[in-house]
Amino acid sequence: MKSKIHEHKKSNKNCVSNKVIFSIIAISAIQVGFSQKKDENIGSEVVNIVKPYTPTISDAFKVKETPAVEDEVVEPKIPIKYQIFSFPVASTFVPSKGKAADVDKEELEKGFSNYVSLGAGNYGTANAEVFLAHQLSKTDYVGGLLRHLSSQGGIKGVALDDKYYTTGFDFTYGSRTKEMNWNVDLGAKNQTINWYGLPTSNINFDETTINSIAEMQSYNTISLGGRMEFNDGLFNDASMQFKRFSDKFGSGENRFFVKPAFDFEIMDSKIKASFVVDYVGGNFKKDYYNVEEMKYSNVIFGTKPSFLYQQDDFSVHLGAGLFYTTNKFNGASDGKFFVYPNVKASYRLVGDLMIAYAGAEGNLKQNSYADFVEGNPFVSPTLFVSPTDNSYDLYVGMKGKLANAVSFNVRGGINNEKNKPFFVSNVYDPTLTNKQGYHYGNSFNVVYDNLNTFSLFGEIKADFSKKSSFTLSGTYNTFKVSNLQEAWNLPQLKVESSLNIDFTEKWYGGMQLFFVGERMDLVTVQDKTVVIPTFNQEKVTLDSYFDLNAHVGYKYNKRLTFFLKGNNLANQQYNRWANFPVQGVQVLGGASYKFDF
């Protein structure tokens, strides 16, 4: 048998195969020969591991049965005949009946359209939410949300009432079709706060003066708006809203905006254009010194066209922002035209593992009384309202993945803002007559100045599994102002962290940590060394603080869940604003129930 095989190999029919096999053997022998040299120094090589190998189906490939061989002469293929030699083999193997393996199938959690949540805690805190939704047809739906949050106060060392409450209602009606989606929203909210931050450590107030202070303020909001989204066509989407904002002291403000957007393609390139018409107008009955009424109005017209260019791993948005504003205050008007950069670029250095990005953007921001109250509810109803010119925001950064479940984002930038608003404590003037509840150094004003900010930002997100996630982010800023002494009430350092875990199918929990660095403010201080009181404005440094919050919940069944929440668990007695201490350890417990009609 061996001689026959030997003769068969010498046949001319397989000469091509012979050459290929001989070449492979010769190359292998040479490689083995070199590898056997013990004394040869093969050097060193540094290997940078970019990411752990994560094989996917696309990583595997099938070897071609007929490999391509580059020869000068292409010879015809010679058919090869195969023969099978069968030999009987004795076997005692008896196959058993097969059974399909059990597969753990994850049960999908049933979704409910409605829920009710009720909670109560210390400081007389009450929290309630009711959400109702109903599908009217295959396309139309309706929904409503009622919310309430209140506290009876009780902060130690506070001379005035510090209770608060907020009650709001939102209603929506909408439709979803293949061509477009649209909805109409109606909302109303009432908010009550107290100017409880009386500076008793800086100024001597007698008991009669304290008892005469009417520290309560209330805000009312009514809004009507809507949104449209188109799946096809030139017109992409549009949003609009009208909002009426007022307070207890006769202040009133109207805000209306409409923001349409278009996009279309020309020669495989996408062109986008967004437009805005934003109006705000209102009045305050008196200025801070009870001299005259304050009236303001401002209209912003703007557009941001951009062109998207993509090639391989590089993409860039090229565009500009064009804005015109008419700013009026107490009859005096001032119209201005602004041009801003609108450029954003990104490059994939290593796929999704490392993406470099940069940008140069600008914008004209509309300010309003309602926005100031949202940022600081303890402002006085005597504010000067004007838009902010964000001349440019230059940034460069990198984002990507450190591992399959860990992503990162780092960024540095320079931001230039003209007419930037700052919150600063109002002065206390004992000679002022007809004082209101905000005239005792216990409220805040808004002042404007130019601000240059250099910032560094970093963020890490980790999804260890479907049941646990972690986030850590931090921002460091350096500020430079033109005319003010300091960038009032802006912290240099802010750090946020959160952790959420599903311990079991029934138990879940999480925690959040917030750190805010030192801030500067300008407050009124009484000179207590003289017989006749004198008052001066002095800079103060508000201490940095951290706030630790946590929550835990138990899912009794698919509908009923019990929860327990804790805020300021470290019991930090810090001041969020000057002379405005926060509540200590806050504990809130309750339950939520989900249901369908």
All residues at 6 or more sequence positions from 414 whose CB lies less than 8 Å from its CB, including other chains: 392, 393, 394, 395, 452, 453, 454, 455
Q: What is the mean pLDDT of the chain?
A: 84
Distance (Å, whole) CA 296 – CA 28: 87
Q: Percentage of residues in the chain with pLDDT exceeding 90?
A: 70
More confident residue, 34 or 414: 414
Residues 399 and 392 sit within 8 Å (Cβ to Cβ): no
Beta strand residue intervals within 528-582, DSSP E: 534-542, 545-555, 560-567, 575-577, 580-581
Name the nearest CA neighbour of 384 among 446, 449, 440, 431: 446
Q: How many residues are present in the chain?
A: 597
Least confident of 42-56, 301-315, 430-444, 487-501: 42-56
User: What's phi and psi for 321, nearest 5 deg?
Assistant: -115, 130
pLDDT in tens, 467-485: 999 999 999 999 999 999 9
Distance (Å, whole) CA 181 – CA 231: 8
Name the nearest CA neighbour of 339 among 389, 276, 297: 389
Residue 557 has pLDDT above 90, yes or no: yes
Residue 351 has pLDDT above 50, yes or no: yes
Q: Percentage of residues in the chain with pLDDT exceeding 70?
A: 82
User: What pLDDT does residue 67 have?
Assistant: 35
Q: Are strands 507-516 and 493-502 parallel, antiparallel or unpaired?
A: antiparallel
User: What pLDDT does residue 264 have?
Assistant: 80
Residue 389, Cβ neighbours under 10 Å: how many? Answer: 20
This prediction has a pTM of 0.80
User: What pLDDT does residue 139 have?
Assistant: 94
More confident residue, 131 or 87: 131
Beta strand residue intervals within 436-533, DSSP E: 444-465, 468-481, 493-502, 507-516, 519-527
pLDDT in tens, 20-40: 333 433 333 333 333 343 344
Alpha-carbon 504 to chain mean position:
28
User: What pLDDT does residue 102 have?
Assistant: 52
More confident residue, 97 or 371: 371
Distance (Å, whole) CA 75 – CA 66: 14
Name the nearest CA neighbour of 386 among 321, 439, 443, 333: 333
Residues 577 and 569 sit within 8 Å (Cβ to Cβ): no
pLDDT in tens, 105-126: 555 566 789 999 999 999 999 9
pLDDT in tens, 431-446: 998 999 999 999 999 9
The pair of three-digit structure tokens given for residue 238, joined into one six-digit string: 């549009």
CA dihedral (476, 481, 487, 492) in degrees, to 10, reads: 10
User: What pLDDT does residue 330 have?
Assistant: 82
Residue 362 has pLDDT above 80, yes or no: yes
Q: Any idea what the Cα angle at residue 338 is, between residues 333 and 342, rounded to 5°? A: 150
Residues 145 and 128 sit within 8 Å (Cβ to Cβ): no
Distance (Å, whole) CA 16 – CA 443: 95
Tell me how many helices (H) and strands (E) the chain has: 4, 26
Distance (Å, whole) CA 238 – CA 57: 42
Q: Summarize the chain as % helix, strand, coil (round to 5).
A: 10, 55, 35
User: What pLDDT does residue 327 have?
Assistant: 87
Q: Any idea what the Cα angle at residue 15 is, between residues 9 and 17, rounded to 5°? A: 85
Tokens 């009045």, residue? 283
Residues 223 and 244 sit within 8 Å (Cβ to Cβ): yes
Tokens 């914008």, residue? 363
More confident residue, 208 or 44: 208
Distance (Å, whole) CA 160 – CA 143: 40
Residues 273 and 304 sit within 8 Å (Cβ to Cβ): yes
The pair of three-digit structure tokens given for residue 574, joined into one six-digit string: 């810090």
Distance (Å, whole) CA 154 – CA 203: 22
CA dihedral (529, 532, 537, 539) in degrees, to 10, reads: 10
Confidence at 311, pLDDT banded by 50, 70, 90: confident
Least confident of 74-78, 199-203, 205-209: 74-78
Following DSSP, what letter does each residue of 359-398 receive, concatenated? EEEEEEEPP-HHHHHHH-TTB-S------EEEEEEEEEEE
Distance (Å, whole) CA 294 – CA 445: 14
User: What pLDDT does residue 15 have?
Assistant: 37
Q: Residue range 178-185: average pLDDT?
A: 94
Residue 383, Cβ neighbours under 10 Å: how many? Answer: 24
Tokens 């940008």, residue? 359
Q: Any idea what the Cα angle at residue 53 is, between residues 47 and 57, rounded to 5°? A: 140
To which H or E segment does residue 269 belong?
strand 269-284
Distance (Å, whole) CA 438 – CA 427: 10
The DSSP call for residue 209 is: H
Residue 173, Cβ neighbours under 10 Å: how many? Answer: 16
Residue 272 has pLDDT above 70, yes or no: yes
User: What pLDDT does residue 106 have?
Assistant: 53
Residue 75 has pLDDT above 70, yes or no: no
Distance (Å, whole) CA 527 – CA 481: 29
Beta strand residue intervals within 44-163, DSSP E: 114-121, 125-135, 140-151
pLDDT in tens, 59-69: 333 333 333 33
pLDDT in tens, 471-529: 999 999 999 999 999 999 999 999 999 999 999 999 999 999 999 999 999 999 998 88
User: What pLDDT does residue 464 have?
Assistant: 84
User: What pLDDT does residue 528 have?
Assistant: 80
User: What's phi and psi for 197, nearest 5 deg?
Assistant: -80, 60
Name the nearest CA neighbour of 285 among 332, 245, 250: 250
Residue 213 has pLDDT above 90, yes or no: yes
Confidence at 231, pLDDT banded by 50, 70, 90: confident
| Torsional sign, CA 193, 194, 195, 201 | negative
